[in-house]
Amino acid sequence: LAKTTQPISMDSYEGQEVNITCSHNNIATNDYITWYQQFPSQGPRFIIQGYKTKVTNEVASLFIPADRKSSTLSLPRVSLSDTAVYYCLVGEVGGYSTLTFGKGTMLLVSP
Amino acid sequence: GAVVSQHPSRVICKSGTSVKIECRSLDFQATTMFWYRQFPKQSLMLMATSNEGSKATYEQGVEKDKFLINHASLTLSTLTVTSAHPEDSSFYICSVLGEGYEQYFGPGTRLTVT
């Protein structure tokens, strides 16, 4: 299983860009990187998934360097409503490790 | 992505009773669903994998006779907590495996056992 390491918490202010980095040094060739967002007392929400280089959707961007040993979730111009826990999961599509949640990163956005 | 609902959103039951939680995939035929449990200030813990038409696969340490899972159709999986005890109080969340193998989660069910 590819193990991931994320900062426990991050602080930001409204309007700033936030970058959350996830380390996954033993990522395997077939592994994908998936990020989820969770608000208190709600189920997680899928944000973005990628394999290499850069992926962008209407919510976020995911930057993956060539060695794929880390990835960075970029949230442009955060608002108070982006305060949540963000989880990085790494694993083969359909594989068990894609079901294993780490501790995640608690992002607090202040006015 | 898939839209997933859960019912009830909150339930309080007495110790020793059983409670059923429903998970529905509203717009996606879900061959595979997952059940998670989340204690306060902790991460999600996978309890079991629910496969339509077959027996669920339980994670180590999860009692299959206590947490009964039924996945009788492509849109519905149920989790029944039998003989509930206060230590079973938790936030139970189901998810559906999407076409890209990302997961789509339900809103969760808060179970309180008194």
Token pair 């111009």: residue: A77
CB-based contact A101 B43, cutoff 8 Å: yes
Give dist(CA B56, CA B49) in Å, integer: 6
Q: Which residues of B touch A49 (CB under 8 A)?
A: 100, 102
pLDDT tier, A96 (very low <50, low <70, confident <90, very high otherwise) = low
Residues 6+ apart with CB under 8 A from B63: none
Indicate if the pLDDT at residue A95 is higher than 80.
Answer: no
The C-alpha angle with vertex B6 and arms to B107 and A80, in degrees rounded to 5, equals 10
pLDDT in tens, B22-72: 999 998 888 889 999 999 999 999 999 988 888 899 999 999 999 999 998
Q: Chain B residues with CB-CB distance to A under 8 A?
A: 1, 4, 6, 34, 36, 43-46, 49, 91, 93-95, 97-98, 100-108, 110
pLDDT for residue B37: 97
pLDDT band at A94 (very low <50, low <70, confident <90, very high): low
User: Is A102 in CB contact (< 8 Å) with chain B?
Assistant: yes
A108 and A12 in contact (C-beta within 8 Å)? yes
Between A42 and A92, the more confident residue is: A42
Nearest CA to CA, how far is A93 from chain B (Å)?
Answer: 6
Compute the half-sphere exposure of residue B95: CA atoms within 13 Å on the CB side of its CA: 27
Measured from the Cβ of residue A30, the count of other Cβ atoms closer than 10 Å reads 11
Q: Which of A16, A39, A13, A10 is nearest to A110 (CA)?
A: A13
